[in-house]
Structure 1
Amino acid sequence: MMEGTRDSLESDGSGAEQPPVPPGRRERAAGRRALASRYALLPLRLFLGVTFSYAGLDKLADQHYLAGRGDLQSFYAQTLAAKAHSPVGALLEPALHAPTFFALLIAFGELAVGLGTLFGLWGRVAALGGAALSLTLFLTISYNVTPYYLGNDLPYLMAWTAMLLAGTPYLSVDGYLARRAERDRNRGLTEDAVRRRTFVDGSIAAVALGGAGLLLGSLTATFVRKKSKPAAGKPAAPTGQGGAAVSVAAAQVPVGGSATVTDPATGDAVYILQPSAGQYCGLSSICTHAGCTVNPPSGGRLDCPCHGSRFDAATGAVLAGPAVKPLPKYTVTKNGDRLDLGPLQG
């Protein structure tokens, strides 16, 4: 009898018996928990969809992205810089032979993955594409980031893995097609007919969404992207004059600007800079964080477009991480009207 009485009461942990929770309240709480579990991945899905859609459009709108070999911020230059430090560097060779094709493939691929994830259309296929892109970026850009958690491509890969496992069954085109397929089964359609109808309608939706993405990307590239203008850091033709392996005309290096030459020992691009009147130095263009090519000097600093590191344009010192090591510095000597690139300083 006493046992039955205890079963009908609950404790709040203080030893005092409490009245039982009414069944209606318990059911509502369970319903809220079930609803939260159902939509638990929705914030992650929206974040990934918006981020990858924006990333694709941002590349297409970037005046430097498709600029080619002459621009240190282009897809070609970034890929060439990553090739020397990537564990899959040999696999990047095709991208260097056809940079425009691969650059557009990545940009439109990100846009397709983002839109597919946002609308929940073929969600697992979109997640697989997102995982492939993140894995590629991790192996080429973020692989050498130390410690590893400072790189952002590996967390994206893990996020896409979760989406790949879960799919997009709620608030999505996939969810609508799945519910309609269940109604078709209940009204007697054969499984083959249900699958065929679902595949055809899903394909039509994919073509429509893909066409919209292609149009959006093309309009962005046509009307938003501006043509690249020659920058202060434009490549200069190195010569063997002045007793140095590499030199550049002093007139090509304005105060606060730079010219770009190549280190004959490593093949890396080097900025020859004039931070202040009459002061010259050379700084490697390769970011010490993950091997990206830093932008030409602006406002007395060099910014890395990959992860946001900043370096002092006069000394190469780190102004903002995640980089922790300064840019390698070269001696620059003025010889008449030319600037000679000297050895790498210790």
Structure 2
Amino acid sequence: MSEAGNSVAGDGGADDGGAAGPVDRAVQWRAFASRYALLPLRLFLGLTFVYAALDKLSDAHYLAGAGDPASFVSQTQAAKGGSPISFLLGTALHAPTLFALAVAFGELAVGLGTLLGLWGRVAALGGALINLSLWLSISWSVSPYYLGNDLGYLMAWTPLLLAGTPYLSVDGYLAQRAGRDRGRGLHEDRVKRRALVDGGIAAVAIGGAGLLTGSLTRTFGRDEQAAPKQSAAPVSTTPAPAGPAPSVAAASVPVGGSAQVKDPATGDAVYIVQPKAGQYCGLSSVCTHSGCAVDAPKNGQLYCPCHGSRFDAATGAVVNGPAVKPLPKYAVTRDGDKLNLGPLQS
């Protein structure tokens, strides 16, 4: 509705004027919502990438080398065999520290560019390429495919890649100023050159701040993590609930196989395994990285579909990260043709 129509409605004129206000507000709200529809996605992706970058740079395991199962080297080596871009991963393994830092600082640049809306399409392209490479390596073996979060992130970058960051952004400010420059008759070449130079200055300033932040995080954050951490929560001394111990038929756990029971104290699923004939143990199904449920043992390993961690099916030890702690291990005793789940050992 026009302003004149609103004025008439306010004066109590035409009969349909009473409906003009709500209709006009609804139209304005839809326009507002359409304009800023991508802002929540932009904030989520920007903050997530900044957090992911700082998390890598502050993690003492990330650049620790092949001896650490949670390091960039170990994870890349583990993904290389089944990845369609194994040739690129092989190149990364020739200079792992350089590539690991490039990934971390690349995520930081993408996150800051997305949050501030500076060269938004370029930042979205960078984010899409990072997630594409992670999907084709770390998440490639995840089954079913929708459990691999990198593919979801790759799709999430597509709207920003198409639309850019024209609102509440440095890009939007530069575009508005360019429009004012054209309105006052400034030559198009000068308008474009001014926008490019100022965008470059902003990129250098933001990039410098990002490098400083990343370097400080790498220096001080790593030192803090290098020392052994004490558990944030004390070990519970509460006895397990009374009642018969969970058990399964021994015949259901062949060598290399498993059967699932529940820890009566926590309710978490536990795999009872027989790695060698006559040797039994229980392994928690809860991944020590972020709490996802690991798959049942297969080929001597337990695999976490969320982030690709693998654990030894005989001991629960980490085969490759990002997990750094082994799976909790339970005692298992045989009583005739039954296997009984015992207390938590570690």
TM range (shorter): 0.5 to 0.7
User: Is structure 2 residue 105 aligned with structure 1 residue 105?
Assistant: no
> Equivalents in 1 of 2:63, 2:327: separation in Å?
25
Q: State the alpha-carbon separation in 2 of the partners of residues 43 and 291 from structure 1.
A: 24
Q: Measure, in 1, the Cα distance between the counterparts of 2:316 and 2:142.
A: 25
Do the aligned partners of 1:301 and 1:312 also contact (CA within 8 Å) in 2?
no
Amino acid at match of 2:36: Y
1:270-318 per-position Cα deviation (integer Å, ceiling 9, x unaligned):
xxxx989xxxxxx956736489344799x97769755999955469xxx
Q: Does 1:77 align with 2:69?
A: no
Of 189, 203, 206 in structure 1, the residue corresponding to residue 203 of structure 2 is: 206
Cα distance in 2 for partners of 1:67, 1:301 equals: 18
Match of 1:217 in 2: 214
CA distance in 2, matches of 1:314, 1:65: 30
Aligned to 1:287: 303
> Aligned in 2, Cα 1:288/1:49: closer, same or farther, shift over 3 Å?
closer
Question: How many equivalent residue pairs?
Answer: 250
Which consecutive unaligned segments of at least 5 residues does structure 2 have?
A: 1-14, 230-279, 283-298, 332-346
CA distance in 2, matches of 1:63, 1:312: 23
Query: Are the aligned partners of 1:300 and 1:313 in contact in 2 as well (CA < 8 Å)?
Result: yes
Contiguous gaps of at least 5 residues in structure 1:
1-17, 232-273, 277-282, 316-346
> What are the residue-to-residue correspondences of 1:19-34 with 2, within 5 Å?
22-34=19-31
Q: Which amino acid aligns with 1:201?
A: D
Give the deviation of 1:96 after TM superposition.
0.9
Alignment map for 1:24-103 (pairs within 5 Å): 24-103=21-100
288-297 or 19-28: bigger deviation? 288-297
What is the CA distance between 1:91 and its match in structure 2? 1.9
In 2: Cα distance, 1:284 partner to 1:133 partner: 31
The 5 A counterparts of 1:260-299 are 287=303, 289=305, 292-294=308-310
Deviations 1:114-148 (A, max 9, x none): 00000000000000000000000000011121111
What is the SS of the residue equivalent to 1:85? coil
Q: Once the 2 structures are TM-superposed, how far is the Cα of residue 175 of structure 1 from its aligned partner?
A: 0.3
Q: Distance in 2 between matches of 1:303 and 1:92?
A: 19
In structure 2, what is the Cα distance between the partners aligned to 1:112 and 1:164? 15
Deviation for aligned residue 1:23: 1.9
Contact 2:70-2:323 within 8 A present in 1 as well: no
C-alpha offsets along residues 158-213 of structure 1, whole Å, 9 cap, x if unaligned? 11111100100000000000000000000000110000000000000000000000
What CA distance in whole angstroms lies between the structure 2 residues aligned with 1:38 and 1:306?
Answer: 39
Superposed CA offset, 1:33-80 (max 9, x none): 100010000000000000000000000000100011221111000000
Over 3 Å counting, the alpha-carbon distance change for 1:230 and 1:22 in structure 2 is closer
Aligned counterpart, 1:191: 188
- 2: CA distance between counterparts of 1:293 and 1:307? 6
Give the deviation of 1:25 after TM superposition.
2.0
Distance in 2, matches of 1:295 and 1:198, equals 52
Distance in 2, matches of 1:201 and 1:304, equals 45
Secondary structure at the counterpart of residue 141 of structure 1: coil
- C-alpha contact 2:70 2:320 (8 A) present in aligned 1: no
| TM-score, normalised with respect to structure 2 | 0.65
- Distance across 2 between alignment mates of 1:149 and 1:130: 19
Counterpart check, 1:180 vs 2:177: yes
For each residue in 1:214-251, what CA deviation from the matched residue of structure 2 results, as whole angstroms up to 9, or x when unmatched? Answer: 000000000111364799xxxxxxxxxxxxxxxxxxxx
**Residues in 2 aligned to 1:104 and 1:138: alpha-carbon distance in whole angstroms:** 19
- Cα RMSD between the aligned structures? 3.4
Contact 1:304 1:310 (8 Å CA) reproduced:
no
Give the aligned residue type for 1:48.
L
Moved more, 163-172 or 305-314: 305-314
Q: 1:117 to 1:36 in 2, by over 3 A?
A: same
Deviation of the 1:94 alpha carbon? 1.1
